[in-house]
Structure 1
């Protein structure tokens, strides 16, 4: 399970593209003839979550809100959306920290419930990498709503 969020500085854009390429099934990553990932519409609300430490991100309308036990109300910041061959990414800045978020299709477990999520998420938050799962309002998780 991998979730990466990093807001991009000049070099971070390369890291984000590399993250999306790393999830490609082929040996060399990106298929230059492949289609751009289009499985999540621009108007879908995206929810990401992870454990160890517990965190959550909600993305909607060009904004992301990051929450954790220390910041339960969340910190909101602007994000820019970009799509690769094998997933979807977002970049922005939260305070002084660059943030890059990547989502790739694939069954994902939070490790604590019987839920199965349709996306794997990797978040690069400053120097920290968070891994977790994701779903959208149109592509929900399966399993118990309240485990």
Structure 2
């Protein structure tokens, strides 16, 4: 199996791995901590990137892609997280959002989710938040 496909499959499985919360194993229960109407933002540094998802629309932004490139995403929920897939520039993009305290390493913000993106043969690690589950800390560090 080609490496990008293996990486995408691994990321999808990570979003579907059962998580333990307060000693309760939700195995068999679909992740429902993020409502479909919530706007999801995933972001990372080194290199800087941002993926904003609203409904079935994703916008991928980097310093070289201003103001960002829109594409269609499909949402899927696993046992331990939420995933999104789409095609950007003819390449598959897979994003996962899993619960966990996260720091972007550049600000004093704390994020409620860990984010991972596979795109163009690269893996991007970062943090995430939603409109109903925001980050804490300064708005503009």
Please say if 1:109 is aligned against 2:103. Answer: yes
How many residue pairs are counted as aligned between the two chains?
A: 134
Q: Say if 2:8 is the partner of 1:42.
A: no
Is 2:12 the partner of 1:20? no
Shift of 1:78: 0.4
User: What does residue 66 of structure 2 align with?
Assistant: 72
Deviation per CA, 1:39-73, whole angstroms, max 9, x where unpaired?
Answer: 00001001111000001110002010000000121
User: Which of these residues, 115, 122, 131, is aligned with residue 121 of structure 1?
Assistant: 115
TM-score by length of 2: 0.86
> Relative contact order, CA 8 A, sep 6+: which one is greater?
1
Unaligned stretches of 5+ residues in structure 1 = 1-8, 26-30
| TM-score, reference length from structure 1 | 0.83
Q: Confirm or deny: 8 A CA contact 2:12 2:96 kept in the other structure.
A: no
Identify unmatched segments of 5+ residues in structure 2: none
Aligned match of 1:100 in 94, 98, 102? 94
Taking the aligned partners of 1:98 and 1:110, their CA distance within structure 2 comes to: 25
Is the Cα contact below 8 Å between 1:23 and 1:104 reproduced in 2?
A: no
In angstroms, what is the RMSD of aligned CA positions? 2.2
